[in-house]
Amino acid sequence: MAEIEKRPVKIVETVLRDAHQSLLATRMSTEQMLPIIDKMDKVGYHAVECWGGATFDSCLRFLKEDPWERLRKLRDGFKNTKLQMLFRGQNILGYNHYADDVVEYFVQKSISNGIDIIRIFDCLNDIRNLETAVKATNKEKGHAQIALCYTLGDAYTLDYWKDIARRIEDMGADSLCIKDMAGLLTPYAASELVQALKEGTSLPIDLHTHYTSGVASMTYLKAVEAGCEIIDCAMSPLALGTSQPATEVMVETFRGTPYDTGYDQSLLAEIADHFQPIREQALKSGLLNPKVLGVNIKTLQYQVPGGMLSNLVSQLKEAGQEDKYREVLEEIPRVRKDFGEPPLVTPSSQIVGTQAVMNVIMGERYKMVPKESKKIMLGEFGQTVKPFNPEVQKKIIGDETPITCRPADLIAPQLPQFEKECAQWKQQDEDVLSYALFPAVAKDFFEYRAAQQTKVDSSAADKDSKAYPV
């Protein structure tokens, strides 16, 4: 039997971002991270995902920390490891589209403060909403990884994935990520998908999934065998449940095979020991809810991400209509179809879920419509894979004309205005970006910083604004 060539699988460690975002409401502080960086830096990870996603908002809002200072401290500690962030395309790290000048400036500042790999995604897989961020990342000599939100539905055939992968490569992506935010990708489907993508593109493939439905580790195994080069894992104390498969388990799974990572288990054990007390403390304080640690097979049944399920329960509880839970679960796929079958990820998951709740509670479909549903139907988030249900669209937007261009083409430059509004608090260039994304939260943080009389370390702050506005 011919020997299979060695193809060590690469691991992106998510414990400093997605793992605590998924399990601990993004509440791990920089202080809890710094003591273990030296050991993490010796593992040989492909990258450590440590910034972006909800960490930015959480730093300012709950931890009273400057996210830019966190990034600089992490960069300072990780001497040999690439740092990665999650970036929501034209939404950056917020929930609305921003003008191109804000997107470009945010990319430039992220890279000059220490980010190497930017994972860029759009909640509708509308790749027009990724263009500006990809171009800016290429310009700054960063690694642009485009993430496709994996979902199920009539439109999402293997040909769809192959075609969009080809378009991503043409756009200038350096790698492709399958972003399975709801844990919907099953092992043999992963095998098929990776093989199809390999036919469509020469880009390295990174698979990101969540353990919510209980199949994630097996999915990684089949994906790697099919040619996937990179997998996202979390250190065991903050793995499983709605987080990722455990790093140590996947390292052991591939030991002695052509995919052997070569990572040292005793070093990983020391790193796990650092995060164990953080987990125990979170369990004790109620920050880590044991419910999110179990397997939720309803995820596969209704194709609804775990976080979205808990949102539905609380919305129904507030309305005193908890007995309508099953009705809402059955309404979600119908609303999703009316809305052009988008992937269910922030913010589309919240929009579809809330609309389904309203339809059931009101006893009439689309009698009450939140403004976000209207925005989707007006094309303000971009283009869905399938067309909207025309009757539902008419009911929601009336005679208004939906937009068909890239939504950001209609947004004038915003930086000068943000600079003006934020001038009184500004201690570093980056403050204007914190303000642009979360004006009220950033203002509270700036006032807190002034009251504490803490100053930004100007020797560490990035002064190099290159071609972008200062």
Sign of CA dihedral 256, 190, 241, 81: positive
Looking at residue 43, the DSSP 8-state letter turns out to be S
Q: Is residue 172 a contact partner of residue 134, using CB atoms and an 8 Å limit?
A: yes
Amino acid type, 17: R
Q: Is residue 243 a contact partner of residue 234, using CB atoms and an 8 Å limit?
A: yes
What token pair was written down for 342?
A: 């988008």
Sign of CA dihedral 300, 305, 308, 310: positive
What token pair was written down for 270?
A: 């020391």
Give the Cα separation of 373 and 216 in Å (integer).
32
Please tell me whether residue 176 adopts helix, strand or coil conformation: strand
The whole-number pLDDT of residue 464 equals 62
Give the model confidence (pLDDT) of 371-429 as tens digits: 999 999 999 999 999 999 999 999 999 999 999 999 999 999 999 999 999 999 999 99
Query: What average pLDDT does range 305-316 have in this prediction?
Result: 76
The whole-number pLDDT of residue 2 equals 54
Work out the mean pLDDT of the chain and round it to a whole number: 93
Q: Which residues pair with 146 in a beta bridge?
A: 120, 176
Query: What average pLDDT does range 40-53 have in this prediction?
Result: 98
What token pair was written down for 266?
A: 């005793």
Query: What average pLDDT does range 148-156 have in this prediction?
Result: 93
The whole-number pLDDT of residue 469 equals 46
Please tell me whether residue 231 adopts helix, strand or coil conformation: strand
Backbone angles phi, psi at 416, to 5 degrees: -55, -40
pLDDT grade for 466, boundaries at 50, 70 and 90:
low
Give the model confidence (pLDDT) of 164-183 as tens digits: 999 999 999 999 999 999 89
The whole-number pLDDT of residue 296 equals 83
Higher pLDDT, 429 or 455: 429
Residues in the chain: 470
Give the Cα separation of 81 and 70 in Å (integer).
16
Looking at residue 206, the DSSP 8-state letter turns out to be E
Give the Cα separation of 379 and 402 in Å (integer).
6
Residue 79: count of CB within 10 angstroms of its CB:
10
- Whose structure tokens read 């095979």? 257
Higher pLDDT, 383 or 289: 383
The whole-number pLDDT of residue 87 equals 97
Please tell me whether residue 463 adopts helix, strand or coil conformation: coil
pLDDT grade for 461, boundaries at 50, 70 and 90:
low
Cα–Cα nearest to 261, from 226, 231, 219, 227? 231
Backbone angles phi, psi at 208, to 5 degrees: -120, 125
Q: Is residue 73 a contact partner of residue 30, using CB atoms and an 8 Å limit?
A: yes
Give the model confidence (pLDDT) of 228-267 as tens digits: 999 999 999 999 999 999 999 999 999 999 999 999 999 9
The answer for residues whose C-beta is within 8 angstroms of residue 15's C-beta and 6 or more apart is 234, 235, 238, 247, 275
Higher pLDDT, 301 or 101: 101
Q: How far is CA 228 from CA 53, 260, 442, in A?
A: 24, 14, 40
In this structure, of 29-33, 412-416, 453-457, the range with the lowest mean pLDDT score is 453-457
pLDDT grade for 71, boundaries at 50, 70 and 90:
very high
Residue 80: count of CB within 10 angstroms of its CB:
9
Give the Cα separation of 322 and 329 in Å (integer).
12
Is residue 446 over pLDDT 80? yes
- Whose structure tokens read 């570093």? 428
pLDDT grade for 37, boundaries at 50, 70 and 90:
very high
Is residue 205 over pLDDT 60? yes
Cα–Cα nearest to 235, from 16, 76, 22? 16
The whole-number pLDDT of residue 3 equals 64
Give the Cα separation of 268 and 126 in Å (integer).
38
Q: Is residue 338 a contact partner of residue 389, using CB atoms and an 8 Å limit?
A: yes
Is residue 468 over pLDDT 70? no
Residue 442: count of CB within 10 angstroms of its CB:
23
Residue 66: count of CB within 10 angstroms of its CB:
24
